[in-house]
Every structure is written in C-alpha cells, then in structure tokens.
Amino acid sequence: MKFDTPATTNPIDQLKVVGKPYDRIDGPLKVCGRAPYAYERHDVVENPAIGYVVGAGIAKGRINSFDLAAAKAAPGVLAIVTHESAGKLGIGKRNIAKLLGGPEIDHYHQAVAVVVAETFEQARAAANLVRVDYAPSKGAFDLHASKDGAVKPNMGEDEPDSATGDFSAAYEAAPVKLDETYTTPDQAHAMMEPHASLAAWDGDKVTVWTSNQMIDWAASDLAKTLDIGKEKVRIVSPFVGGGFGGKLFLRADAALAALGAKACGRPVKVALPRPLVFNNTTHRPATIQRVRIGATRDGKILAIAHETWSGNLPKGRPENAINQTRLLYAGEHRMTATRLATLDLPEGNAMRAPGEAPGMMALEIAMDEAAEKLGIDPVEFRILNDTQVDPEKPERRFSQRRLTECFRIGAEKFGWSARPQVGAWRDGRWLVGLGVATAFRDNKVMTSGARMRLSANGRVAVETDMTDIGTGSYTIIAQTAAEMMGLPLERVDVRLGDSSFPVSAGSGGQWGANSATSGVYAACVKLREAVARQVGIDPATAEFADGEVRGGGKSASLAGVAKTQDIVVEDAIEFGDLDKTFQQSTFGAHFVEVGVDAATAETRIRRMLAVCAAGRILNPKSARSQVIGAMTMGAGAALMEDLVVDKERGFFVNHDLAGYEVPVHADIPHQEVVFLDETDPYSSPMKAKGVGELGICGVAAAIANAIYNATGVRVRDYPITLDKLLDAMPEGRA
C-alpha cells in the first residue's frame, strides 16, 4: 500500500480498541520469567557451549602475535577464534570497525578473540590466559584537543551545514545578543540486558537468537560479515531487554557466537561483559556546541546560529546536534554547522533521540539565557518565536504544530505563574527553582510490512519482524489488527522479531510504532478485501465487527470464512513524499521543579511534567511509560551520566553500572504526562506519530534551567554535578 495522500476516515477512527490504555500483552510473560530472551533460550538448541570475548588491551595499533597455548590447554576449551583462524570476514554496512579485530586495532576492547568452552567459568578463565603481543600507536582521545582539526563531514545526501539570510550581519546588528558554548559528555545506553546472542549452524545456514532492534539490518550485516548469502542467515529476537539505539546494529556478540559455533561444531552463546558493552559497542558521542542568538528588544529572534563539534572513528558520523535548531524557532537569518574530529575511541552512534537530545541540552539553556537578557518570561519567549512554517523554507508548512498549546497547558497545570525570582525560593535547607524547555523531535517513517493469517478458529495472527524493546509493540500491533478486523484483542496473536517474517520498520528513531502499525494496517486492508470477496461483499462497503463481516444484506463469521482453509495475505506500507511536502514533527513542553541543597549543592528533582503533541496516541498507557522513561534518561543526562575518558589509553574508565551512574527510583519522585488529543493525517493511515524519543528532548535543559532559577548558578557543561555548583553557590547558603 502506498501512502501518498493524507489519510481520510478509515476503520482505525472507530477507536474501539486503538487508543485505549490496554496493559501490555507481553507483561505476564516478563513478570513470570517466561519471556524468551536470547541468552536464556533453553528451548531451541541442546547443549550450547559458552563463548567469552577477549577485548583489545590497546586503543590503536596492531597485533604482532598471539600466544594461545595455555588457553587451548585449559580445561573445557573447545575452540579459540581469532582473525587468523576466522577465515574471510567482511564489515557490515552499518559497522564502522571490524567486529573481530586484527591485525589492526581500531579501538579499545575491540574483540580480538572468542574462547569457547563447556562452561562460562571455563571460557572466562581460558580467555584470561590468551596472550596478545601488541604494537601500540598514538591515538587521539580528547575532543577538546582535537576540535581545531575537525572537518566538515561527508554525510551523503544530508548536508551538514545550512544558511538562510545573512546571519553574521543580522547578529551584529541585533540589539540583544547571546553567544555561549555548551558541552555534553560521552554517554552510555546502559540497558539492563547486555548484548547477548546464541548461534547454531545447520549445514551452511546459521540461526542467531539475539538482542537486536532491527532484524533485517542485522541479517544483512551478519551475512556480509560472515561472507555468506543473506538467505543463509536467520535472526530471531522476539524480546529485547532494552536497547535505546545501542542494539540498532550488529555487534560482536552475534558475529562471534556464529564464528564460535562454526569452529566447535555446536551451538554457542555469547554475552558481552558489562565493560565490553561500554567499550566494545556504541555510545553517544560528546559534543561541544556554540549557540548565538540575536533578538530585538521585544524578544523577536532576528538571527540564530548553532555550531557543533563531535568525534568518531574514521568513516563514522557526527552527532547531529543542530537538527532541531533548523526547525524549532522563527528567525529570518540562520546558520548551522557540523564538524567532526577523528577520535580513536569506541564507535559513536545512535542513542535515544540522536541529535536532538544533546542538541536541545544546549539550545534550550541558550533560549533561557536569551530570555533573561531580554527580561522576558522563558515560556513567553518561546511562544513569541513559535512558527507554523519551516524557518528555512517558509513555503513548507508543518503538518501540525501545537507547541504553543503545549506551553499554555503545561504552564497552567504546573503552576508556572508562581515561578520565583532567581534564588528567591527557600524550603528549609533546599533552594527551589522551576525550569522549562521545549521538546522537539522529527516524525520519521519507514517502509514496514506484515503478514496476516485468518484461521478457522476465528483468530487472526500477525507476523512481522518488528521488535519489542520494552515499548509495547506486541500490544499496539494487536490493537491495530483487532480494530481493523472487528475482533476483541484476545483473539489476535502477534509474532515478532524473526527474519523469516516480512521486513518491518524495526524499533528506532521514534519511527517504530507509527510505521509498524501502518504496515499491519496495510496487511489488514488486504485481508479485509480477501474475506469480503469470499463472502460476496463489496470490500469498499464491508463492515467488520463482533467477529463478523457484514454488507449488502449479507453477513458471515470470520471463522466460517476460513473454515476450509486459512486465508493468508501480506502487504507493506510505503510512504510517499508527504514528509517532504509538509514538515512532520512532534512537539512538547517540559516543566521541572528541583531542590538544591544550600550547603552541599546536591540536586534533587521534585516533580516533572511533559505535555506532548504527537499525533494519535495508540495506547496511552504504553506511551506514557515511554515518555516517563525518556524523561528519566534526560534526568540522568542532566545530573549524572558521564563516560570518563582515559585520555592516555583511550578507553571509558567507568565502564560498568557501579561507576556509570544512572537514575534510580529515588531520583524521580513524581512525573506527569499530558497528551494533546490530536491526529495527523499527513503522517500515516494511523494518523499517529512517534513519542518514545520526544520525552528525552529538552528535559535535561529544563533541569539545568531549574537549577539556575534555584541557585543563580549557570552551568553549561553537563552533567551538572555538585562540584560545578559549590564554589558559586549563594553566600550564607548554610
């Protein structure tokens, strides 16, 4: 099905099932321990061996030689695979560095060997006996030191720089100017489930049960890595214990499980230890960002510029922290620039809301600072510079943009009018402040397919390689099929995460829910047509309700239609160019109250509110869960998350969940989410948009702005730890 004209009235609009806050249908499996995660699959193979990965002990250089004698002689060892024994290997399209390093080393903890043994303890012990003789070379590990050598990156069709009007002249002439620099650190996904895989060969074909967000990408890249045909690779990932972008791409666990299984002739499972999750896989790169805003004295932005620097391995991409600035606020004269430094750190890549999340950490502090210079309330300043058109292309309107409404509703609900003057609110030992920031994320869509099966028992089964990363994909897909086919939710079976199923959008980029349910919608339209024709009803007028199809004076039960043979159809949603004709984005407003201890500068979040405009909300309960989870990640980014780089040896020092701090329950006492009641017919037949990444965009800046309101201390370098506040705290704070 081609989606190239705005959606009109369709069966989803009935909202009998879609739009309702159903519990996640996979919930009971998870709380009872029956959800089959990759490493714990005891039902698919017998007697798997265990692989343990050896990570490179240098960040750059080459391997002179291996000494494997002691490791091979260790108890229980079945095989050891290195680049010397692995055979011909390739590099996946979406991988920057080789998943099995050698002889060249690209980054610290790049996999250089996998030791396979009967037990985990034996594999780990033997891995510690592997001796590698390295020839290290000097690397670059410091973004600040490499900033001056950063270059304009080659981003294919994506132009890294933009310019409209004459920024320099307009900025110089502006009566009120802001020019500040902000930094964000390297950050880790820190998902609960590590990267883990189980691989088994059947002749020349391999099946990998793994934890991965994008099944088709993984199948393609594993085939390329192993130098075999894609038809010989099957990827299975029905449940993912957290990804946040860190499992968008094939990683070493899957490739080495397959290589280990081939080497020892039996199934092998590999889980990356936590230090390798941090140093071997991907992370969010650090940024340096300069924001300049020039405005009239009454608060209209005349000129705005946003420049960003980040680093990555050769052939890596930058952190596109300027994305939102190109679209978010009005202003005739504009400029953005992106520069990329070559660093020899582990690969930087997508992490929840890549680009906008760190970009808004800078932009939304800058907006508050500009509002203060102007003497304008921060909410009113943002509303004053709202726009209904793409600021770079005024002829291109937003399909829907209700940002001002988000701010008005949020301000009233949060009690923004009671916001104190800077440093004026004291609650016992706590200095209290309120902060605000815009939430913005583009609405992306991707081709997505599904297979539908109507059986004689009157049940409908959905098969698609879409994944559920804890976000509720099983449930919203079931709700879509139930709505379209006129069935109760309990008569829909959903099967996900298998490369033998039709290719879906996968989970990432905030495109998953909208795209995947649209693919199910397309397949349901085809199934409705097949059922109606079999009964002799015009598909255009057929009504599906209560387990029946009706029309033209006829009716039949769905079970009866499929009595002699299952009806199976397959289709996909293909999106046209409506996203080019109209700018499609999601919007919101974050409000935060913090308390800062007057003596110690410890910061505590007291309450948070997000008001979101993101099209039709398919399931308010699971959508709220996504947003509060994103808000929590934003709190971590604001206050604690920081991968510390050893700038001599080139690795992340705090590479575990003891040293890399993330928020816990006690850090987030109260969260509230409000969704505007809206539909966007330009987005999809579901009239929905993504919401999972919107919640993280801007929230860190809202926290930073609240801290400033409480203390009068402006911190522009994240995370905002107490050491950055203490020396500048108000006098007499004790």
φ, ψ (nearest 5 deg) of residue 14: -60, -35
CB 535 within 8 A of CB 561: yes
- Could you list the beta-strand ranges (E) of 185-241: 196-202, 205-210, 233-236
* Amino acid at position 211, single letter: S
State residue 335 phi and psi, 5-degree precision: -155, 135
Q: Do you know the residue count of the chain?
A: 734
Gap between the Cα atoms of 170 and 687, Å rounded: 40
In angstroms, the CA 365 to CA 708 distance is 10
Gyration radius from the chain CA atoms: 27
The strand order across the sheet containing 460-464 reads 2-3, 567-575, 448-454, 460-464, 492-496
Annotated active-site residue in 157, 172, 693, 731: 693
In angstroms, the CA 108 to CA 60 distance is: 7
Q: SS3 of 515, please?
A: helix
* Separation of alpha carbons 697 and 691, rounded Å: 11
What is the arrangement of strands in the sheet containing 287-295, beginning at the earlier edge strand?
Answer: 162-164, 333-342, 301-312, 287-295, 176-184
Residues 6+ apart with CB under 8 A from 265: 201
693 is catalytic: yes
In a 3-state reduction of DSSP, which class is residue 389?
Answer: strand
**DSSP letter (8 states) at residue 72:** H
What region, left, alpha or beta, does residue 488 occupy, with left being phi > 0 and alpha being psi -120 to 50 degrees? beta
Q: What distances in angstroms separate CA 148 from CA 152, 160, 309, 334, 346, one per listed residue?
A: 12, 17, 9, 23, 21
Q: Would you state the structure tokens that stand for residue 274, as one six-digit string?
A: 């936590």
Closest listed residue to residue 305, CA positions, set 317, 318, 294, 319? 294
Spacing of C-alpha 88 from chain mean position: 33
**Residue with tokens 């009595």, as numbered in its chain:** 563
Which residues are known catalytic residues?
693
